[in-house]
């Protein structure tokens, strides 16, 4: 049992969670099956798949039909997959119920993070820029399974207050929240530039350059704040600044409709904060989307631009509108790259999941002394053949 503590970067790991970790990633686990429990069903499936082939080998007088063999093997595999999915789903609910009896918040966290495990699937490739460091890995698992975060300082070295996960995600000292927000926006820009022409995607677009005379916040003596993705905003503060309020995070032409520009605005929400942890996470994300829409959508429409909020959680859960944007990107890439939708969807989602995980780790462990941060260009593939390895692990679950 040394493997799990090493995997989680902890001195010891609760063996009670072994059942949970044995489930596939989309059922909240880590795809670490228990061979003693799965051997029988795998053996049954194997004998069913090869039943016709074995029968023909034994009975040499019978003509072998490759089509029949493939049909029977395919049907057996589908049956095995469906049976396993039902079994895993029931097992997951049982485990959640068991955890929920003693720790309701943990059970809710695990339940919601089911959809945020794309980063676990990805094979690290230097050319793809999707490597995950040891600290990012352990932070990702700690958020997914609501565990203590390793080596978190007891005092915040930015403001001197008692440090905690909640404090780190709320402390603005040092600008880490805004840098993390900008990193997520930059990754989205990078992906959008694979969909649209490079010049059609630009950061920090001005939403309303010609102010209405009735705008109570408009001050003609103030110059627009030039904050190239390094402003004072983490996606929540920008709404409070009268000048930053006039800017989105990304403008992309032809995203929703040909000829029109879409303004996207990123926000990252901590779903386990004191005010959010007892609320339905879907409703929390939805409320942030609605808040962004109320502030920006009408002004964007005055300029005949679409507006869409891109709301995500620190643990990698995507809001409904963010999910729709990623689906749209994946569908465009499906045609452009001539690849199945499942592959492009996984590619887009895992890229964004890794970007969120990196930004979250940066908030927890990053330097909080105020300084000018120069954002490096995120690594991206230069050779499309490297993409072939991107989803090769996804079938493991």
Q: Which residues contact 101 (CB under 8 A, 6 or more apart)?
A: none
Compute CA distances 22 → 35, 192, 332, whole Å: 10, 36, 35
Strand order in the sheet with 261-269: 201-203, 250-253, 261-269, 305-313
Stretch that binds Zn ion, among 55-63, 155-163, 192-200, 245-253 (CB under 5 A): 155-163
Q: How far is the CB of 148 from Zn ion (least distance, A)?
A: 19
| Beta carbon nearer to Zn ion, 366 or 389 | 366
Stretch that binds Zn ion, among 41-49, 122-130, 173-181, 202-210 (CB under 5 A): 173-181
Contact predicate 124/350, CB 8 Å? no
Stretch that binds Zn ion, among 6-14, 41-49, 164-172, 182-190 (CB under 5 A): 164-172
- Count of H-run helices and E-run strands, the chain: 13, 4
Stretch that binds Zn ion, among 108-116, 151-159, 300-308, 383-391 (CB under 5 A): 151-159
Torsion angle, alpha carbons of 372, 376, 377, 383, to 10: 180
| Beta carbon nearer to Zn ion, 139 or 297 | 139
Q: How far apart are the first and last CA of the chain?
A: 22
| Beta carbon nearer to Zn ion, 84 or 166 | 166
Stretch that binds Zn ion, among 163-171, 270-278, 294-302, 305-313 (CB under 5 A): 163-171
Contact predicate 171/368, CB 8 Å? yes
| Beta carbon nearer to Zn ion, 285 or 363 | 363
Contact predicate 268/302, CB 8 Å? no
Q: How far is the CB of 158 from Zn ion (least distance, A)?
A: 4
| Beta carbon nearer to Zn ion, 105 or 159 | 159
Stretch that binds Zn ion, among 105-113, 142-150, 153-161, 312-320 (CB under 5 A): 153-161
156 touching Zn ion, by CB under 5 A: yes
Q: How far is the CB of 8 from Zn ion (least distance, A)?
A: 26
Torsion angle, alpha carbons of 238, 244, 245, 248, to 10: -90
| Beta carbon nearer to Zn ion, 229 or 364 | 364
Pairing relation of β-strands 261-269 and 305-313? parallel
Report the site for Zn ion in 2-21 (rule: CB under 5 A): none
Q: How far is the CB of 308 from Zn ion (least distance, A)?
A: 32
Q: Which residues contact 260 (CB under 8 A, 6 or more apart)?
A: 253, 254, 304, 305, 306
Please list, residue by residue across 79-117, b when 16 or more beta carbons sit within 10 angstroms of its beta carbon and e when fewer do: ebeeebeeebeebbeebbeebeeeeeebbbbbbbbbbbb
**Site for Zn ion (CB under 5 A): which residue of 54, 155, 159, 298?**
159
Question: For residue 266, what are its two tokens?
Answer: 């990123």
206 touching Zn ion, by CB under 5 A: no
176 touching Zn ion, by CB under 5 A: no
| Beta carbon nearer to Zn ion, 226 or 371 | 371
| Beta carbon nearer to Zn ion, 16 or 153 | 153
Angle between helices 51-58 and 35-49 (to 10 degrees): 50
171 touching Zn ion, by CB under 5 A: yes
Stretch that binds Zn ion, among 17-25, 120-128, 156-164, 275-283 (CB under 5 A): 156-164
| Beta carbon nearer to Zn ion, 132 or 171 | 171
Contact predicate 248/265, CB 8 Å? yes
Q: How far is the CB of 393 from Zn ion (least distance, A)?
A: 37
Q: How far is the CB of 172 from Zn ion (least distance, A)?
A: 8
158 touching Zn ion, by CB under 5 A: yes
Pairing relation of β-strands 250-253 and 261-269? antiparallel
Which stretches of the chain bind Zn ion, using CB under 5 A? Answer: 156, 158-159, 171, 173
């Amino acid at each position: 049992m040394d493997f799990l503590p090493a995997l989680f970067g902890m001195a010891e790991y609760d063996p009670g969670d072994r059942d949970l970790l044995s489930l596939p990633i989309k059922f909240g686990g880590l795809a670490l099956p228990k061979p003693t429990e799965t051997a029988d069903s795998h053996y049954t499936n194997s004998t069913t798949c090869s039943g016709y082939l074995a029968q023909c080998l034994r009975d040499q007088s019978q003509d072998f039909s490759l089509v029949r063999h493939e049909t029977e093997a395919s049907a057996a595999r589908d049956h095995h997959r469906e049976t396993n999915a039902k079994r895993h789903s029931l097992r997951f609910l049982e485990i959640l119920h068991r955890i929920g009896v003693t720790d309701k918040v943990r059970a809710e966290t695990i339940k919601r993070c089911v959809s945020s495990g794309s980063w676990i699937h990805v094979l690290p490739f230097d050319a793809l820029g999707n490597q995950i460091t040891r600290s990012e890995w352990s932070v990702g698992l700690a958020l997914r399974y609501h565990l203590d975060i390793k080596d978190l300082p007891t005092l915040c070295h930015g403001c001197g207050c008692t440090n905690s996960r909640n404090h780190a995600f709320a402390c603005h000292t040092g600008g880490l929240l805004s840098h993390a927000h900008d990193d997520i926006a930059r990754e989205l820009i990078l992906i959008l530039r694979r969909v649209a022409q490079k010049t059609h995607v630009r950061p920090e677009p001005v939403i309303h350059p010609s102010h209405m005379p009735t705008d109570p916040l408009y001050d003609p003596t103030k110059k627009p704040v030039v904050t190239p993705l390094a402003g004072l905003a983490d996606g929540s503060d920008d709404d409070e600044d009268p000048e930053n309020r006039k800017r989105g995070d990304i403008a992309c032409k032809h995203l929703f409709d040909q000829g029109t520009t879409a303004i996207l605005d990123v926000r990252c929400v901590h779903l386990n904060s004191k005010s959010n942890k007892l609320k339905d996470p879907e409703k929390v994300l939805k409320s942030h989307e609605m808040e962004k829409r109320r502030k920006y959508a009408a002004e964007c429409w005055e300029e005949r631009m679409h507006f869409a909020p891109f709301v995500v959680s620190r643990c990698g859960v995507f809001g409904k509108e963010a999910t729709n944007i990623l689906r749209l990107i994946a569908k465009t890439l499906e045609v452009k790259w001539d690849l199945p939708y499942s592959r492009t969807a996984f590619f887009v989602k895992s890229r964004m999941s890794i970007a969120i995980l990196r930004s979250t780790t940066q908030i927890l462990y990053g330097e909080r002394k105020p300084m000018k941060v120069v954002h490096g260009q995120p690594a991206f593939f230069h050779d499309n053949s490297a993409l072939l390895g991107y989803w090769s692990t996804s079938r493991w679950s």
